[in-house]
Amino acid sequence: MGLGLALFSTSTPVLRAEAVSPFPNTFLTPVISVSVSSMSRHQVGLVAKAARASGATIAVLNFPFVPLTAHTRDGKDLLRLKNKWRIPFATMVAPVSLISAIGGPAMAEPLNRGEVLMGETAARVRSAHIGDVITLRDSKFSPHEFVVGAIVPDSFVDEGDITMSDVSARVLGTMSVTTVMLTGMTSLSVVTRALLAQGIGKSSTYRVRYSWDTPDPDAQLGTAKAKSLLGEFSYRPTTGAGIQISSTWVNKNIVWNKRYSDIGLHNNCHKTVVPALQSALSEISKAGLAGSIDLVNSNSYGGCFVARYNRRGGVFGSPARHAWGMAFDINTTANAQGRVPQMNCSVVRIFRKWGFAWGGNFPWADGMHFEYVGERRDRIGFPSKYCPNLVPAVVPVVPRFTNAPATTTTTPIVSQE
């Protein structure tokens, strides 16, 4: 999502009288992000050391899924959930100084007041207005109210729901650091060498991303976009990693015991996903590749809709993409998480054609996993580590740094793995 530090139509206006957003659509300054699923203090320190050596500024970020349980406007409830029910809210927690640098002082001002920024897509899904009050729950499920101070382009909430300051987020409890972002760089080559000197770069355990990266065909949808395509649901924890999802949402959206023609896969997927999955399977069969899908394995262990948390979701927990009925697994034995994927690349590209991203190029390789994104992905040129598309990689344009000439390169300088 996004830097990773990764429509529900409504006639209600989102920005009231504001017809034009006062905020930029893209970052005002180049950004490099360095991330792992949970960064230790030592790892943060290594990035900080590289930043000092290269004259860059760092910002430490968290990306929890914070539970939303109420939404009010002018003192009236638009939403109020009880009995531990909650809506997953993808939250970016960042220093105000970072938002000021990438979005400008006007965007940062609501954060200085203790308010939150809501992404444009999330605002459409929630029919939210500036000035609305949302109730978020901390790690012990105690309530805290926040005012929606501004509605901003999705990139400034990392394609999620909201951004809040690290100061405001203290009431929510301790969170794992996942990302350090670098800004204020004067030379890309200097900062790259500084990172490599700390073991951060190609073939490292870190994931390094640039704000000017070209699109990745296997990038996941941001949570707000997933909600807009598939509908927003409420849920509550059950036992272990399990969750209970609103029966209203499930009954409306999940197609039970669907058996596909051409290739006999069967599962329980979201109704929006079913036509795309059928089209992909039909093309795979027509191409003579049906034998590349192990049906005994896939129909026994692959699944689609599974009401559970993401296994790598952190302290607050986040619903897995399987909980949306938007993801399915095939050939699970040969494509276990964390191992080199063994999927037939022609099959991968056909699934991309019909609107699926593949997990084989996720930071933690998940070669069995395909996930609906609702857009064609086989025509995107990108230097994927596994199964790149059969089109030339797009040349990313490196932005102009202070005292550094603009350049281009055919491959990212820091690892895209």
Segment 336-351 mean pLDDT: 96
Q: Residue 316's pLDDT is what? A: 66
Q: Residue 185's pLDDT is what? A: 94
Q: How many CA atoms lie within 13 A of 206 on its CB side?
A: 27
Q: Residue 213's pLDDT is what? A: 94
Q: Has residue 373 got a pLDDT over 50? A: yes
Coil, helix or strand at residue 112 = helix
Output the average pLDDT for the chain: 90
Which tens digit of pLDDT belongs to each residue from 178-202? 999 999 999 999 999 999 999 998 6
Alpha helix (H) ranges present in 176-273? 188-197, 223-230, 247-253
Structure tokens at 20: 């034009």
Q: Residue 119's pLDDT is what? A: 98
Which tens digit of pLDDT belongs to each residue from 37-79? 889 999 999 999 999 999 999 999 999 999 999 999 999 999 9
Segment 240-269 mean pLDDT: 96
* Residue 378 or 414, more confident: 378
Q: Has residue 416 got a pLDDT over 80? A: no
Q: How many CA atoms lie within 13 A of 1 on its CB side?
A: 24
* Residue 43 or 417, more confident: 43
| pLDDT-wise least confident of 12-21, 138-147, 205-214 | 12-21
Q: Residue 386's pLDDT is what? A: 97
Q: DSSP code of 224?
A: H
| Confidence band, pLDDT 50/70/90 cuts, at residue 288 | very high
Q: Residue 38's pLDDT is what? A: 85
Instruction: Report d(CA 266, CA 256) in Å as an integer.
Output: 9
Instruction: Report d(CA 411, CA 382) in Å as an integer.
Output: 9
* Residue 224 or 414, more confident: 224
User: Given phi > 0 = left and psi -120 to 50 = alpha, else beta, which region is 11?
Assistant: alpha
Domain ranges for the chain, please list them: 32-210, 223-372
Instruction: Report d(CA 309, CA 237) in Å as an integer.
Output: 9
| Confidence band, pLDDT 50/70/90 cuts, at residue 12 | very low
Q: Residue 343's pLDDT is what? A: 98
Alpha helix (H) ranges present in 215-318? 223-230, 247-253, 274-286, 295-297
Domain topology for 223-372? Muramoyl-pentapeptide Carboxypeptidase; domain 2 (3.30.1380)
As a whole-number percent, the residues of the chain with pLDDT over 70 amount to 89
Contact of 64 with 294, CB cutoff 8 Å: no
Q: Which of 128-132, 302-306, 391-395 has the highest mean pLDDT?
A: 128-132
